[in-house]
Every structure is written in C-alpha cells, then in structure tokens.
Amino acid sequence: MIKISPSLLASDIANLQSEIKKIESCVDMLHIDVMDGHFVPNLSFGVPVVSSINKITDLPLDVHLMIDNPLKYIEPFAKAGADIITVHIECPDDAEECISLIKSLGLKAGIALNPNTPPVKIAHLASKIDMVLQMTVYPGFGGQSIEKCAIENISEIRKMIGNDIDLQVDGGIYSNNLAELVRAGANVIVAGTAIFGNSNPESAVNELKNMARKGDEV
C-alpha cells in the first residue's frame, strides 16, 4: 500500500497549521525531521514543535531522529505525540536498544540508513521494526538529487524485510523519479519540495500518488 508522508521541513514553517490543513485530507502521515547540528550539519524541529503539531491534526506523526543520542529523546518525543519514531543505524546509540524503548512506549519503530550504508547493517533488526527508512540523499539539507546506490539498496532491503514491513524513502523525490523507487520496493514516500513547493499542494500529492501507482503496477 502506497503511503504519502509530506516533509514539513519544506513547508512554510511560520504557518504550519495552514500548511498542514492544505494536505491533511489526502496524505497518510506527517514527516517531521529532527536534526541536532551534530549527526547532520543542520538544525530543525524539536519536542515543542511536535507537541504543537499534535494539537492541530489527527494524522500520525512520523518523527525522524537525525540526532547523535536518540535514547535521550525518544521518551520526550513519544510524550509530545509521535506515532512513529525512526532512528539511524549510524548513530552512536545502540539501535536495538532504541527500538526496544520505542516499542515499549507503544509506538511504531523505524530504522534509517544513509545511502552509502550497506543494508546488511540493519539485517539483525528486520524482525523488530515496523519500518525501514532508506535515505535517498545524504541527510541534512533539501534540494539534493537521489543517490543511485540508495535505489540499489531499496531492492535489497525489500527482499530482507518481506512485504509486511513499510519501506520508506526520503530525499530528492518528485513525480518524475518516484516510479523507479516504487518499482524497487518502496511504499512510503516522503516528499517535501515536491508538495509544499507547489502552488497547489493537494494536487501535487495526487500527482505523486498517481506516479506511485504506475510504479506499483509494473
């Protein structure tokens, strides 16, 4: 099942409520990037923002922790209203411990990997997670092009996790390259500029869905 998770980092952050309302009826969740300026060279949303978003929408909050010490912040983000928390296999904290904590709080757990990280690095977690997030660009900044090695990883990960676990992709995704990612095995699509950079975000979402279906039919 194809799911769309718009990246709020690309929205008009000064008007988050109105931005969310524009696409609320046609998307499956909201992707919230959390960056600490250490794990990735940028800063973004924190716990108070997630708490505020949780008050204005019933959509599941898909929180992506691009931070050095997720163990310290998983519980605060859970209390703020996160429904899915994804941590990186590359972070210093133990990924299995992070996933256990997320699940113990009643949330869905995801594991993320950068384009150049071999999928074998997450193989031991395949039975413990609800979602894999394959970054299709190197995290930290928008506007990048998809890395070819990430597309190759998607196929390998789908074989590893089977068909019952979500496989999310994030970075450089537009309607003209989405079908290739879906053909490779992705089913949860994170898009930022492709949605919020469009004068009609709802139309942009529908276009992404149509292209994803074409990829799914092949």
SS3 at position 108: strand
**Apex 133 CA angle, 170 and 175, nearest 5:** 30
Four-point Cα dihedral 76, 78, 127, 183, nearest 10: -110
Q: Of 119, 178, 128, 124, which Cα lies nearest the Cα of 154?
A: 119
| E strand or H helix at 61 | strand 61-66
Helices (H), the chain: 16-23, 47-56, 70-80, 95-104, 148-161, 178-184, 193-196, 201-217
**Token pair recorded at residue 196:** 């919020």
Catalytic residue numbers? 33, 170
Q: Kindly calculate the radius of gyration of the chain based on its CA atoms and give it in whole angstroms.
A: 16
End-to-end CA distance of the chain: 14
